[in-house]
Amino acid sequence: MTMNFELARQNMVEYQIRSWEVLDPRVLDVLGRVRREDFVPAAYRNLAFSDMSVPLGHGEEMMRPVLEGRMLQALTLNGSEDVLEIGTGSGFVTGCLATLARRVASVDVHADFTEEASRRLRAAAIDNVELFTDEAVNAYQPGGVFDVVVVTGAVHTIPTRFNRWLKPGGRMFVIRGLSPAMEAVLLHHEGEARFRVESLFETDLPYLQHAEPMRHFTL
């Protein structure tokens, strides 16, 4: 039986995402328009709208739709922002960010993720995105600062270099802490190296490469 993707997308928005207090009409609209099924690996296409994370390879995964919705709503994008995404993954969140913001730069450590995301975004006619392959925690250096930084993999603690990529008045979404009880936060840059942390919700995600907690060895 052929799956009705349009109906499945509508059900995802109405019965999953809305029920998790995602009510911003622009966010609901973009999640209803960007074709999530075109951004998941082919083997999982029929699970694109399920309330589950989807494996992407390399031990990485695509967020559950409700987490994507909560994250996009928390960012309160109005279409004027320059956004840096750390962790391109499948490219789906990249496409949503690009639809809601002015421009997106996105970096991922896995070259095959970057290549596939580029192909998917072109197919979706989303062209205000620039993709990079690099390791973000220690090596990557963006060519400027941004209104919004979005970190789509978890970190044990927020790397201080991430803070430097955020403009005064900007905000950063990041999930931090120890698995399985991590905290999603919005970091607000209030100027003069002052940052205010807004707690959003608890969740659990795989860590970014080199952002895991240090291992302690005992004898």
Residues in the chain, how many? 219
Residues 128-178 have pLDDT tens digits of 999 999 999 999 999 899 999 999 999 999 999 999 999 999 999 999 999
Write the single-letter amino acid at 46.
Answer: N
Q: Which two tokens stand for residue 100?
A: 């809601």
Q: Could you tell me the sign of the dihedral formed by the alpha carbons of 78, 20, 25, 68, in that order?
A: positive
Q: Quote the CA–CA distance of 64 and 4 in Å, as a whole number.
A: 20
Residues 55-64 have pLDDT tens digits of 999 999 999 9
Q: pLDDT at residue 49 above 90?
A: yes
**Which residues, including other chains, have CB under 8 Å from residue 161's CB and lie 6 or more apart?**
137
Q: Model-level pTM?
A: 0.94
Q: Which domains does the chain have, with CATH numbers?
A: 5-203 (3.40.50.150)
